[in-house]
Structure 1
Amino acid sequence: MRAGSRKTGLTTGSPRSTDDLDRLAMAVLQPGFEGTAPPGWLCRALAEGLGGVVLFARNIADPAQTAALTAALRADNPEVIVAVDEEGGTVTRLEAGSGSSWPGNLALGVADDVRLTERVARQIGRLVAASGITLDYAPVVDVNADPLNPVIGIRSFGTDPEAVSRHAVAWIKGLQGGGVAACAKHFPGHGATRSDSHLELPTVEAPREVLDLRDLPPFRAAIAAGVQAIMCGHLLVPALDEVPATLSRAVLTGLLRDELGFDGVLVTDAIEMRAVAALHEPGEIAVRALAAGADAVCVGRSSPGGESVYELRDAIVGAAREGRLSEERLVEAAGRVRRLARWHEARARVRAAAAHDADEGLGDAVAAAALRMAGAAARPVLSAAPLVVQISARLSQAVDPSAGGRRPGLAAAIAEILPGTERAEIGEGDGLPDLGTAAGRPVVLAVHDAVRHGWMRHLIAEAVRARPDAVVVETGVPGPPAGAVYLATHGDSAASMRAAARRLTDDASAS
């Protein structure tokens, strides 16, 4: 289909014109795109009323480029919602190449000082605001009820609903206090799953009573704190409905709107994720999500010429003409999107003031406060340049490795203090390097979420047998301690790696 063309054969009984419906349908879309400058189709779509755009690492080169990009987007639609996933910790778009300067949610939960959480969120808000971004798809407020969860893990503040609620409120207060809209996710709670919605449809097998006590309190707290947006998760929750939450009126309208009282923007997770993409075509997902109560449809990737965006528009318009999606529901959704744009516009002075509110050293200090060590018999733990064996599993798609390559990691942080540090990386199916050749050199095993990977635990045990003096650094969800020294960082941000390196070497020069 030619970009900008309209679907033919629509009935003419509607009180609204096709042009009106086109603009309403465009207003509720938030697509991604390729490149570091807006392509021609995106500029046309913005001029035609496209209400949102989501940025990924592939769109971001540096702060100046990102600010120029968002300014170019607003040149075609001053009210466009520019969104990004900037959680801090493992999920960062603006610092994807280097790793986040700010510890993620689990580290904040372990440090357990809501004043620090608020300050970190405010600094993330400064970073986001400087790039001209309206909406941050953060914080994650899922309660990580299952340590084997493959996609939430360290993105959660923890396992206790009350603590998660406290830190969620602090994070929202910090971000929105700096003039950037927050988005609590993934409603009604992605923490008690053992599958990744990027790959398949997760099911939360819990009665409503458990949901009320475990999963919903952080969302209730976020709403009470005035969160501007909530993202629904692609989750099947049989206690609530027989269809995924994204497509469920009972979940999105009955529970979130009517029962919990949320009246902000409700945005879907990316509709190309297999959890829902395996069930319906993109246009049908968009229509059903909007009918269920969503206000904005996130689309991570668009076709090179933007055809897929116009196909979504036409599917929404067609459903409105057919009566499967009420025009009133579409007007309501578009109105909420525009209201968020006005909220952001009204806070220009707040963002300008926050731009000068730097909190130097905060990220490293909070990351250090989240470290937990077992088995340290001597200090420093490392007195010579070690061999760092990085035992790596495949990253979740939520991490967005599209920036190219892995982040520098622990070995690079240690090498800054102990020049001569060497690094070896192994994955599932690989054998360990010959640790005997490292005689006289300390060995550090850097692992992530070993609690979820039997093959990883097997390699750790093998390495510790060969080198009983080995140091194990866990950058994900901690498990039982292993090695002569076990250091849990509760995150893999750049700040957490620097904090770990300093703790192992007793280097406080940059703290």
Structure 2
Amino acid sequence: MASSSDPTLERLANSVLQPGFEGTTAPDWLRRRIAEGLGSVVLFARNIETPEQVAALTASLRAENPDLIVGIDEEAGDVTRLEAWTGSSRPGNLALGAVDDIDLTERVAHDIGRDLHAAGVSLNFAPSADVNSNPLNPVIGVRSFGARTDLVSRHTAAWIRGLQEAGVAACAKHFPGHGDTVVDSHYGLPQVTGSAEEIALTALPPFIAAMEAGVRAVMTAHLVAPAYDPDLPATLSHRILVELLRGDLDFQGLLVTDGIEMGAVTDRYGIDGATVKAVAGGVDAVCVGGESAEEATVDLLSTALVKAVLNGTLPEERLVEASGRVTEFARWSGERSRAVARAMERSDIGLVAARRAVRVRHRPGTAPVTLPLTGAPHVVELSPTMNLAVDGHTPWGVADPLRDLRPGTTSVRLTEPELTHTTDVLTDAALTPATGRDLVVVVRDAARHRWMTDTLTRLLRSRPDALVVEMGVPAGDALGAAHLITHGATRVSGIAAAELLAGAGA
């Protein structure tokens, strides 16, 4: 029997881990681990400063292993890592679904892929193939192409084609579908309550479309689907990963976990226990490091995998199989990563898409408001707490781009705690500064936040002529004198809305 220090087992264990790390240069421990067989690394916003810096970073990592898989979560839209500090120059999936132009979706994804390839990234954890059938979903929302299965399916396939034609592997997520949930899996365990027949009709077709488009990887969902497995989350479930995905759907590519440190799986199994169960259940690569980005985490998970093989919890042949799929993927991606990369090029395709995604509604029974506005408005942005998939530093909103177009524009950003604990804040910060001027109220997923809808109601009671900009998932009737819907809160979506309000742009 192999010992707990068996170098072969340790190398196998290292090969299936995809850790993150701190800093904008490669730490010594990470270089050493790559030399010892670590198969992948994952980049986060904290690792990225400039295009030149991240390209140098990935080159230094590949100096240890030319076939190293470099992953990133670059959905564009609200979830961006490359542009976390500036806001994405491309709209997200909901905006693309609203336009419903397959060619446009493919072009936007190719534009993303070109920049990722230039940065040295070989695996992008995107697109979200989830059908956002529940408008109260706290973690998918604008990350989905929409609420209709057929629309999500065709845009998932187009996005994958565009990205992979640029030389970067796509990863359809979150299997078997995270759209019909009301719990954020970063904190708790969601449940999909539909029957197997319902899931097959509504949630699985986008993943089938992804496979038909040649997707190289699929990411699992940390949720329970009792119709398939009443006991284990999908990430850990042999029934879902092997019998359904590998067997019934015949997917032969790389199978990756969502962040293994997320509460949906670690609350019950611990990060090490969840890792072992995921690989035993059929996963090939374990993504970790969003919050746990130290070498100690890699040590913990690698040791857990080795011990599980030694005590029989994890069959060695399963670990060998997982490592083999990582190696096969690395060969495919490595060939493309070594292709001559073009420098990141500035493209306006993202702004073009964002402009096409904006919709203007008017409240029934009221005369349509004439745009553009005639003066510099006061902008009130109601800011919710975002889920952990969205980097907290990423700028969003309409006030800044509108100020560029209409000097003299003033603004305030308000949160739930401020509105709850500060007396007269609406009067002092929102209504009084808007006296004699247009008032623009910007919301983000108002239907999911009671405090936001209550605040909006109070503002419109005093200023029924206010204009409302929804930068999340639209729901319900049009509000305000005019209701603009951007289908996302990315930088270019804010610019597109500001252009409509100010009468600028193409």
1:379 deviates by 3.6
For 1:390 and 1:371, how far apart are their aligned partners in 2? 18
The correspondence for 1:424, drawn from 400, 412, 419, is 412
Q: Tell me if 1:456 matches 2:452.
A: yes
Structure 1 position 158, deviation (Å)? 0.4
What are the residue-to-residue correspondences of 1:255-404 with 2, within 5 Å?
255-301=244-290, 306-348=295-337, 352=341, 355=342, 360-375=347-362, 377-401=368-392, 404=393
Residue 232 of structure 2 is matched in structure 1 by 243
1:162 counterpart = 2:153: no
Aligned residue in 1 for 2:200: 212
Q: Distance in 2 between matches of 1:26 and 1:120?
A: 34
Q: Sequence identity, in percent?
A: 52
Q: Say whether the 8 Å CA contact 2:115–2:344 is kept in structure 1.
A: no
| Structure 1: distance between partners of 2:173 and 2:145 | 12
Q: Give the TM-score, by structure 1 length.
A: 0.93
Q: Alpha-carbon deviation of 1:442?
A: 1.1
1:341 positional shift: 1.4
* In 1, Cα distance between equivalents of 2:42 and 2:227: 32
Aligned 8 A contact 2:396 2:494 in 1: no
SS in 1 for 2:172: strand
1:116 partnered with 2:104: yes
- SS of residue matched to 1:389: strand
Q: State how far apart, in whole Å, the 2-side matches of 1:144 and 1:407 are.
A: 24
Q: State the secondary structure of the residue aligned to 2:228.
A: coil
1:489 corresponding residue in structure 2 = 486
Aligned to 1:30: 18
Between the aligned partners of 2:401 and 2:410, the Cα distance in structure 1 is: 11
- Residue 422 of structure 2 corresponds to none
Displacement of 1:76: 1.6
SS at match of 2:76: coil
Which whole-Å CA distance do the structure 2 matches of 1:206 and 1:325 have between them? 31
- 1:48-63 mapped onto 2 (5 Å cutoff): 48-63=36-51
Whether the 8 Å contact between 2:382 and 2:444 is mirrored in structure 1 is yes
The residue aligned with 1:193 is 181
Match 2:113 to one of 125, 134, 141 = 125
C-alpha distance in 2 between matches for 1:238 and 1:72: 45
Give, in whole Å, the separation in 1 of the partners of 2:174 and 2:306.
27
Which structure 1 segments of 5+ residues have no match? 1-10
Aligned-residue Cα RMSD (Å) equals: 1.7
For the pair 1:21 / 2:24, whether they are aligned, the reply is: no
- How far 1:12 moved relative to its partner? 3.5
The answer to whether the aligner puts 1:501 opposite 2:490 as a matched pair is no
In structure 1, what is the equivalent of residue 62 of structure 2? 74
Contact between 1:302 and 1:308, CA under 8 Å: does it hold in 2?
no
Where 2:183 maps in the other structure, the secondary structure is: coil
Contact 1:179–1:351 (CA<8 Å) still a contact in 2?
A: no
Number of residue pairs matched? 492
* TM-score after normalising by structure 2: 0.94
Q: Secondary structure at the match of 2:416?
A: coil
* 1:411 Cα deviation from its structure 2 partner: 0.5
Cα deviation code 1:32-60 (max 9, x no counterpart): 11111111111111110111111111111
Deviation at 1:349, TM superposition (A): 7.5
- Is contact 1:126–1:351 with CA below 8 Å preserved after alignment? no
Other structure's SS at 1:213 match: helix
CA distance in 1, matches of 2:95, 2:336: 30
The reply on whether 1:442 has 2:438 as its aligned counterpart is yes
8 Å CA contact 1:235, 1:275 repeated in 2: yes
Summarize the Cα distance change of 1:494–1:304 in structure 2 as closer, same or farther, 3 Å threshold: closer
2:2 aligned residue (9, 12, 21): 12
Cα distance in 2 for residues equivalent to 1:303 and 1:249: 26
- Say whether the 8 Å CA contact 1:129–1:351 is kept in structure 2: no
Map Cα deviations across residues 274-328 of structure 1 (whole Å, 9 max, x no partner).
0001011222111110011100001124767512201211110111122221111
Q: Does structure 2 conserve the Cα–Cα contact (< 8 Å) formed by 1:237 and 1:245?
A: yes
Out of 465, 471, 476, the residue aligned to residue 475 of structure 1 is 471
Q: Secondary structure in 2 aligned to 1:197?
A: coil
* CA distance in 1 between partners of 2:270 and 2:488 (Å): 36
Q: Deviations over 1:348-385 (max 9, x none)?
A: 57664xx3795832111111111110128344332211
Q: Distance in 2 between matches of 1:393 and 1:302?
A: 21
Q: Is the 8 A contact 1:302 1:309 kept in 2?
A: no
Alignment CA distance shift 1:323-1:70 (3 Å): same
